Amino acid sequence: MKSERQNAILEIISTREIETQQQLLQALAERGICSTQATLSRDIKDMHLVKELGVSGNYRYAAAKQESDDFDQRLRKIFKEGVISCDVAQNLLIIKTIPGLAPAACSAIETMKVEGLVGTLAGHDTGFLALKDTAAAEHLYSEIKELF
């Protein structure tokens, strides 16, 4: 239900200039989706919707633009300053970091949505990345080596 409502919200704000939560509630109701203002407000917060200047000159709801450049820079910084080494052992990728940064490095990799990544496990200074197969591990290894 929540994902259906949030998908509808994204579709509505991408096709119409919605200025207020009330207008958004009405647009959802037109689609047969009943919601409260409190639920809608939580959805807006969860989805990181922002108000931007629309074509008509009024402010409208919009999906926040991905800050991929900023994210890439932060990821590179984590790896350049924190990762000491990286190695492959069959379908596992093991990264060694300065003390305390393994969780940050593993979290950064997880947010990259790497194809073939099954999961990560982070200790204090070591991160284990499990991949579906050796080829996926070697591919990720080559990408990570470029980061530091």
List the Cα angle 80/82/88 in 5-degree steps.
85
Listed residue (108, 55, 51) closest to 80, CA to CA: 108
Listed residue (66, 55, 68, 1) closest to 9, CA to CA: 1
How far, in Å, CA of 128 to CA of 82, rounded? 15
CATH fold group of domain 2-63: Arc Repressor Mutant, subunit A (1.10.10)
Burial class (CB in 10 A: 0-12, 13-18, 19+), 127: buried
Q: pLDDT category, 145, cuts 50, 70, 90?
A: confident
* Mean pLDDT for the chain overall: 88
Q: Averaged over 126-146, what is the pLDDT?
A: 92
Domain coordinates in residue numbering, the chain: 2-63, 68-147
- For 67, the 3-state DSSP assignment is coil
CATH of domain 68-147: 3.30.1360.40
Q: Work out the end-to-end distance of the chain between its first and last CA atoms, rounded to an integer number of angstroms.
A: 43
Query: Beta-carbon neighbour count of residue 118 at 10 Å?
Result: 13
40-58 pLDDT per residue, tens: 999 998 888 999 888 888 8
DSSP 133: S
Q: pLDDT category, 71, cuts 50, 70, 90?
A: low
What is the predicted pLDDT for the residue at 72? 65
Q: pLDDT category, 69, cuts 50, 70, 90?
A: low
What is the predicted pLDDT for the residue at 70? 64
